[in-house]
């Protein structure tokens, strides 16, 4: 049983109030697969890069047990590039540049060895490509989680809606939930999304935590109050990777398991924002993950004797 992760593998240039980076390694699938690798031993990656992408970064993923056989390297082409600038509050950002490069004609190939996929993470990518991956799997996975962003809502809404209809869990942030549904109230927005196909919706609210909706139930996970948020890039993908990685490791898709998975995802995301890019995630070990999850448990645990 394997976990398949698709999404961008990218170069990012990031500007935050704390500093600025040149091209560093990023990408939705990079963050998601790295985070998931702390929970599940069999992670298969499908993505594409150009010949400008460093072998070191591929080795970094392989060292975490990620199978990169499905990562296409296009000779003579350039890797996807994204540049973003965060505002003072770190909860909002402007995209300064998106260069699709290799992504513009990406045709995902699913290696035969990936066909045992039971958990599928559709990381942020063109919705048509996300859809083609679902179609190219011989059996529908037990759970399909999809992430997306405002960029695709602006240029590919029709395909996005069709793809959303095919998944089990959608993860988006609060602004994206409003943009997708036209509802300001997140509860109303959630109700609408749950009629569009997904049985579960996760709305990420940055430093204000995350909400998990299912039927008439809602679960809230806080974000860890951190003294300093250094760089929020990849926090959403890291959250998604921790979320699906935990579910895959327990092989369960119940609402109770999803609640726990939201906490694991939040714990991974809280580490991600502590340094630029993937730096903090790369430095972690299993004990770090467990102790961070314990902090979340302590943060929300209380006793009330109701009469
Ligand atoms: P997040 O901060 O979780 O929203 O994800 C940031 C990552 O998403 C960066 O590493 C980017 O390379 C990647 N990214 C930015 N724009 C896009 C896009 N339009 N499609 C796919 N990935 C993107």
- Sorted by sequence, the CB contacts under 8 Å of residue 307 that are 6+ apart come out as none
Q: Report the alpha-carbon distance of residue 146 to residue 40 in Å, rounded.
A: 18
Instruction: Please write the tens of the pLDDT for every residue from 196-224.
Output: 999 999 999 999 999 999 999 999 999 99
Q: What is the per-residue pLDDT for 135?
A: 97
Helix extents (H) in the chain: 28-36, 55-63, 127-136, 150-155, 157-164, 174-181, 186-193, 235-250, 255-272, 279-282, 286-300
Does the Cβ of 12 fall within 6 Å of ligand 1?
A: yes
| CA 169 / ligand 1 centre spacing (Å) | 19
Tell the residue nearest (CA) to atom 20 of ligand 1.
125
The CATH number of the structural domain formed by 3-8+26-70+103-300 is 3.40.1190.20
Protein residue whose Cα sits closest to atom 16 of ligand 1: 82
120-164 per-position pLDDT tens digit: 999 999 999 999 999 999 999 999 999 999 999 999 999 999 999
**Pocket test residue of 7, 50, 145, 149 for ligand 1, highest count of atoms within 8 A of CB:** 149
pTM, two decimal places: 0.97
pLDDT for 299 equals 95
Residues of the chain predicted below pLDDT 70: none
Domain-wise residue ranges, the chain: 3-8+26-70+103-300
Query: Residue 238: CB within 6 Å of ligand 1?
Result: no
């Amino acid at each position: 049983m394997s976990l398949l992760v698709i999404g961008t593998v990218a170069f990012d240039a990031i500007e935050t109030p704390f500093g600025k980076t040149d091209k560093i390694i990023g990408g939705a699938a990079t963050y998601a697969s790295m985070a998931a690798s702390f929970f599940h031993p069999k992670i298969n990656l499908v993505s594409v890069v150009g010949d400008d992408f460093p072998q070191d970064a591929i080795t970094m993923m392989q060292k975490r047990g990620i199978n990169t056989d499905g990562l296409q390297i296009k000779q003579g082409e350039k890797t996807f590039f994204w540049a973003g600038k965060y505002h003072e509050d770190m909860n909002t950002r402007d995209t300064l540049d998106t260069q699709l490069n290799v992504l513009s004609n990406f045709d995902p190939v699913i290696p035969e060895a990936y066909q045992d996929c039971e958990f599928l993470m559709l990381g942020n990518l063109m919705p048509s490509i996300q859809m083609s991956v679902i179609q190219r799997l011989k059996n529908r996975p037990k759970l399909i989680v999809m992430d997306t962003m405002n960029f695709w809502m602006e240029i590919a809404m029709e395909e996005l809606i069709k793809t959303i209809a095919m998944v089990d869990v959608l993860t988006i942030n609060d602004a994206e939930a409003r943009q997708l549904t036209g509802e300001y109230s997140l509860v109303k927005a959630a109700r609408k999304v749950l009629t569009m196909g997904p049985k579960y919706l996760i709305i990420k609210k940055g430093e204000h935590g995350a909400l998990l909706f299912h039927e008439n139930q809602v679960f809230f996970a806080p974000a860890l109050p951190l003294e300093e948020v250094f760089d929020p890039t990849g926090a959403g993908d890291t959250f998604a990777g921790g979320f699906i990685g935990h579910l895959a490791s327990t092989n369960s898709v119940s609402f109770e398991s999803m609640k726990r998975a939201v906490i694991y995802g939040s714990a991974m995301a809280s580490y991600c924002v502590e340094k630029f890019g993937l730096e903090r995630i790369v430095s972690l070990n299993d004990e770090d993950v467990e102790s961070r999850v314990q902090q979340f448990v302590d943060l929300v645990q209380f006793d009330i004797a109701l009469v």
